[in-house]
Chains A and B, each alone.
Chain A
Amino acid sequence: MSENKEVITENYSLNDDRRVKVLSPGALVAKRFFRNRLAVFGLSILIFMFLFSFVGGLVSPYDEKQTFYREDFQNKEFAGVVINDEFRYAAAPEKDFGGVLNAQAYLAISSGQSEFIYKAVKYTVTNHGEDFYSFYTDGELIGIAYKDIVNMSDANETIDFDFMFASLAAKSANEKSFEYKGETYTIDKDDGVFKNGTEVAYISRFIARPILPDVFLTRDFKQQLELAIETKDDEFTFTDTDGTVAEYTLKYNAGDNNWSVMQSMATRVLDTYSAPSKSHWLGTDKSGMDMLTRIMYGGRVSLIIGFIVVIIETVIGVVLGGLAGYFGKWVDMLIMRIVDVFYCIPSMPIMLIIGAAMDEYNVDPQIRMLYLMLILGFLGWPGIARLVRGQILSLREQEFMIAAEASGISVPRRIFKHLLPNVIPQLIVTMTMGIGSTIITESTLSFLGLGVRFPFASWGNIINDVTDVHVLTSYWFVWIPAGVCLLVTVLAYNLVGDGLRDAFDPKMKR
């Protein structure tokens, strides 16, 4: 290709225009701009920040408002355990086997009597085996005294007296099976009671009571617990039927002769302020959200707000400044006084007042963002209006405008075709720098909690966490990355603006 070109150029005569490469004004500006190393550096930062914010948000595996949890171990009082070494009494259905009778029965048992008389009624005592007695009057069973306790395997079933009697009788007589309601039950060596091979109950001297009312202690758990108590272990792990693993710690309390069981259970808590790791490159913030993703979305908000505010400013500024500059006289006078008034209204305090008022009215965060942009734009236009007016005032007097007027071009065409294009270079520079300063204003407001609000992220409200001294001292990753993004972006805008200014007019150096 290049060879081909050279051949062609050689064919042109010396004074042929095509021999000289002619660049359009735009190309000249671009050429000058790209020669400025700082400006190109700034431009590449800007491109990077835009990709980071807009594409990064899509690439990131997480969502702006996605919260993360971590497992945290907490020790909770889980159950209390005692070994039953006292007789317990149970009355047969619809029989009276109350307090005094219980005491009489105990006396009879401890003195080894086979019968006793209470209130002229004779009671016979039957010893079925170790620590199990039953009491009869007139051949009818009225109650039992026992130390081994029958627990149902199913939490929803209540213990039936007859079943308890039958199983305890079998157990104390060391029998391997017993009959109850026409069915055969077997007792294994661990004192489990089985019906057709499934465990329906178990017999144990341990009484374990859960602290929380809605917890049911399973047989397996109790067995583990017994084992731990027998082997004098302080700790054991238990996996329940759901597969949840928990660590348990036993503490013996000699005074009450009981054990308290502490469960250290993994609970899900918000993964706040976790340090940078593989899954969260910049850690997480105070709500357990991924920092890097928040910064990406915050970048979107900050960059978009900067753009929109500057566009609003420019539209108002160009229209009013243009009117004032072109028409002069009383229009100029009026508009410039309005500009003066706006110039004197301090924008930061006004934004603070409005921010606080929006807090008071509980404005929705999204609408709030919109208001923020509108107000910032509305307060920021006087500078641009002054610039445009000044430019137009001086351009209006130049020869090319007289020529335009003389050739009978209409007023709108004169303004938009001949006047405004000459203002655009200055305007672009001011706008570029304006975006930078708008981003700072927005982030300052958000930092103070009066701008963009949670759950939306903005670089300013990410750094807001630093007002917590604890964050300032210990969690650099929460606020420094966002601050660096902010600084770098604004710096890049300023560098590009500077470069554009030099490129548009090499003589115009301010």
Chain B
Amino acid sequence: MRKYIIKRLLISVVILFFVAFAIYALMRCLPTSYLESIARQKSLQPNSKSFEEWMEQLSAIYSMDKGIVPGFFSWLGNVLQGNFGDSWKWTVPVVEKFKDTVWVSFVMGAIAFVLELIIAIPLGVIAATKQYSKVDSLISIIALAGISLPTFFFASLLKLVFSVKLGWFDLFGLVGRNHETLDAMGKLLDKAHHLVLPIVTLVVVSIGGLMRYTRTNMLEVLNADYIRTARAKGLPERKVIYHHAFRNTLIPLVTIIGGSLPGLFSGALITETLYAINGIGFASYHSLISGDIPFSMFYLVFLAVLTLVGNLISDILYAVVDPRVRIA
């Protein structure tokens, strides 16, 4: 087991290296409009150096004067020392910006994830136990509709109904206008209030996948021999489903849930941007489209790490939860 984990980790490091290089090369191929705009600004000041001179100096400061390969290794060297550089867009160290924004995203993601589990798993089980019934079709359609629903469209609909027509929520932002005048409890409630729509959006658009996954696995288990045995010995149906079948359905569920835990930190790029929630997704959206190399590099590599960790966790959990599986 330990050997397996170590091997996986080593492979992950190699993969990560190439991912980081690919992303770095891509980012370097983009127009350095950020540096250009600063250089233009500076060169317009009286008695200033020319645009080209500023450009040269700024490129040196931001280590953009090197080629892609040396540039990547100097970036990598800094990163290994824990230095991700300063964000161009936010003008603070990348790590600081990350710490500022990641917790909002995590809270949002975690609440949405828990809600998803609470709603999707029971519905998936019900759909499987009543296969081909009207309930099953209904649940399947809801699940597919959730998968098919584009986030931005659903978010706009929610805004129209709940913000514009009913006036229950604000259209944008994490805090209300009078946030500063509230006490600590009030501030918390204010934030919670503003997170309702984003969380609903997240839950609805991502609930379908889990629901279908539960249903499929439950169906598989229900077709197994030991379920027939359980029924044959006269156990009540409730006990067959919730005692014998459901526990076995949990095996794949636990692995997939464990695998998606790291993803809670990745933030919701689109949803946060639509609701202007100042989380990691929102911050990186603006960094990405404005060509902020240090922050984008950090975020993309961070996402790659989360993916790799997620895969590793789900593989390990699979072996841990299911004694039939052995990994070598």
Q: Which residues of B contact A479 (CB under 8 A)?
A: 153, 156
Q: Which residue of B lies closest to A437 (CB)?
A: B147
CB atoms of B16 and A360 under 8 A apart: no
Q: Which residues of B contact A148 (CB under 8 A)?
A: none
CB atoms of A337 and B14 under 8 A apart: yes
Q: Which residues of B contact A436 (CB under 8 A)?
A: 147-148
Stretch in contact with the other chain, from B98-106, B182-190, B298-306: B298-306
Asked if A361 CB lies within 8 Å of chain B CBs, one says yes
CB atoms of A357 and B291 under 8 A apart: yes
Asked if B141 CB lies within 8 Å of chain A CBs, one says yes
Whether A469 contacts B171 in the complex (CB less than 8 A), given A345-B23, A436-B148, A509-B220, comes out as yes
CB atoms of A494 and B148 under 8 A apart: yes
Asked if A440 CB lies within 8 Å of chain B CBs, one says yes
Q: Which residues of A contact B140 (CB under 8 A)?
A: 38, 498
Stretch in contact with the other chain, from A69-77, A84-92, A193-201, A346-354: A346-354
Whether A356 contacts B147 in the complex (CB less than 8 A), given A345-B23, A447-B152, A473-B164, comes out as no
Q: Which residues of A contact B300 (CB under 8 A)?
A: 345-346, 349-350
CB atoms of B147 and A360 under 8 A apart: no
CB atoms of A360 and B33 under 8 A apart: yes
CB atoms of A355 and B144 under 8 A apart: no
Partner of B15, one of A340, A356, A450, A483: A340
Partner of B150, one of A440, A450, A480: A440
B237 to chain A, nearest CB (A): 21
Q: Which residue of B lies closest to A463 (CB)?
A: B153
**Contact size range, B:** 35 or more
CB atoms of B285 and A356 under 8 A apart: no
B27, B145, B284 interface centre (most CB from chain A within 10 Å)? B145
Q: Which residues of A contact B156 (CB under 8 A)?
A: 463, 466, 472, 479, 483
Q: How far is the CA of A491 from the CA of B150 in the complex (A)?
A: 11
CB atoms of B285 and A341 under 8 A apart: no
CB atoms of B152 and A344 under 8 A apart: no
CB atoms of B148 and A349 under 8 A apart: no
Q: Which residue of A lies closest to B156 (CB)?
A: A466
A343, A345, A447, A487 interface centre (most CB from chain B within 10 Å)? A345
Whether A341 contacts B31 in the complex (CB less than 8 A), given A348-B269, A487-B148, comes out as no
Partner of A353, one of B15, B22, B30, B219: B30
Q: Which residue of B lies closest to A493 (CB)?
A: B148
Asked if A232 CB lies within 8 Å of chain B CBs, one says no
Q: Which residue of A lies closest to B21 (CB)?
A: A341
CB atoms of B144 and A356 under 8 A apart: no
Q: How far is the CA of A31 from the CA of B144 in the complex (A)?
A: 23
Q: Which residue of A lies closest to B296 (CB)?
A: A353
Annotate B260-295 by CB proximity to A: 1 below 8 A, 0 otherwise.
000000000110010000000000110011110000
Asked if A490 CB lies within 8 Å of chain B CBs, one says yes
A471-510 residues at the B interface, CB under 8 angstroms: 472-473, 476, 479-480, 483, 486-487, 490-491, 493-495, 498, 509-510
B130-182 residues at the A interface, CB under 8 angstroms: 137, 140-141, 144-145, 147-153, 156-157, 159-160, 164, 171
Whether A483 contacts B296 in the complex (CB less than 8 A), given A352-B289, A353-B26, A495-B144, comes out as no
Asked if B248 CB lies within 8 Å of chain A CBs, one says no
Q: Which residues of A contact B200 (CB under 8 A)?
A: none
Asked if B307 CB lies within 8 Å of chain A CBs, one says yes
CB atoms of B151 and A490 under 8 A apart: no
Whether A349 contacts B288 in the complex (CB less than 8 A), given A487-B145, A490-B148, comes out as yes
Partner of A483, one of B145, B150, B273, B288: B150
Asked if A444 CB lies within 8 Å of chain B CBs, one says yes
CB atoms of A344 and B15 under 8 A apart: yes
Asked if B308 CB lies within 8 Å of chain A CBs, one says yes
Asked if A274 CB lies within 8 Å of chain B CBs, one says no
Q: Which residues of A contact B220 (CB under 8 A)?
A: 509
Asked if A293 CB lies within 8 Å of chain B CBs, one says no
Asked if A186 CB lies within 8 Å of chain B CBs, one says no
Q: How far is the CA of A443 from the CA of B299 in the complex (A)?
A: 23
Q: Which residues of B contact A353 (CB under 8 A)?
A: 26-27, 30, 288-289, 291, 296
Q: How far is the CA of A436 from the CA of B171 in the complex (A)?
A: 29
Whether A443 contacts B150 in the complex (CB less than 8 A), given A349-B269, A360-B30, A360-B33, comes out as yes
CB atoms of B33 and A341 under 8 A apart: no
Whether A345 contacts B304 in the complex (CB less than 8 A), given A472-B164, A495-B144, comes out as yes
7 A–B contacts, CB within 8 A, in A order:
A343-B307, A350-B23, A352-B269, A360-B33, A460-B152, A463-B156, A487-B149
5 A-B pairs with least C-beta separation: A490-B148, A483-B153, A491-B148, A344-B304, A356-B289
B residues with a Cβ closer than 8 A to A are: 11, 14-16, 18-19, 22-23, 26-27, 29-31, 33, 137, 140-141, 144-145, 147-153, 156-157, 159-160, 164, 171, 216, 219-220, 269-270, 273, 284-285, 288-291, 296, 299-300, 303-304, 307-308
